Amino acid sequence: MILILFGPPGAGKGTQADLLKEKFNLLHLSTGDLLREEVSNETALGIKAKEFMDAGELVTDELIIAMIKNKIDNTTSVNGFLFDGFPRTISQAEALNDMLKNSSKEVDKVISLEVDDSILIKRLLERGRSDDNESTIKNRLDVYKSQTLPIKDFYSKDNKLIQIKGNQTVEDVNSDIVSNLS
């Protein structure tokens, strides 16, 4: 099973991924978490990525695709993958399709968490991570709309998109996702 958790910053992708990976025994790959690990280990990738993340910009497709390819190539014996925060551009979505095609796999479903901007801003300010200040959040939302939102059409053409109301409680969002998958 190959699932993608999709949505704007603060939609609850990471929150729902923690619940879904247990239920379906999937390997959770969060590009945000992987990048934060690189930043805290001060690797060459982390040093490059930090600048983009602090500004609320996307890290380059080249770096992200290489990072994900490395994870997929070095993983064996899992039920499937749960991608969280990836893909975030059409180029990343095309690269993922190519990577999966090499092992005769494809994306099964894309779970889109739909939440209004005002709620997203409130959640992120409350979370208070280093990239959760007002100007960075605003840029992340703009970048989401211009670079990431077009992916919805890319997957809805293939009937892979599931739209979920993300402004409910964590438990209700989860049960909506699970019932849509079964």
Please confirm whether the linkage preceding 9 is cis (ω < 30° from 0): no
| For ligand B4P, the closer CB: 12 or 110 | 12
Please give the order of strands across the beta sheet that includes 27-30: 27-30, 81-84, 2-6, 109-114, 161-165
> How far is it, in rounded angstroms, from Cα 80 to Cα 69?
15
- The single residue among 2, 45, 81, 86 that binds ligand B4P, judged by CB under 6 A, is 86
Which residue's Cβ has the minimum distance to ligand B4P? 32
- The single residue among 95, 110, 123, 177 that binds ligand B4P, judged by CB under 6 A, is 123
Q: Give, for 173, the enclosing helix (H) or strand (E).
A: helix 170-181
Q: Are 20 and 31 spatial neighbours (Cβ–Cβ below 8 Å)?
A: no
Residue 59 within binding range of ligand B4P, rule CB under 6 A: yes
| For ligand B4P, the closer CB: 92 or 161 | 92
The least CB distance from residue 86 to ligand B4P, in Å, is: 4
Sole window of 19-27, 28-36, 70-78, 150-158 interacting with ligand B4P (rule: CB under 6 A): 28-36
Residue 83 within binding range of ligand B4P, rule CB under 6 A: no
Which tokens sit at 138?
């605003």
The least CB distance from residue 173 to ligand B4P, in Å, is: 5
Q: Are 54 and 132 spatial neighbours (Cβ–Cβ below 8 Å)?
A: no
Q: Are 82 and 31 spatial neighbours (Cβ–Cβ below 8 Å)?
A: no
- Measure CA 111 to chain center: 10
Residue 155 within binding range of ligand B4P, rule CB under 6 A: no
Task: Give residues in contact with ligand B4P (CB under 6 A).
Answer: 7, 9-15, 31-32, 35, 52-53, 56, 58-59, 64, 85-86, 88, 92, 123, 127, 131, 140, 169-170, 173
What positions carry a catalytic annotation? 13, 88, 127, 129, 140
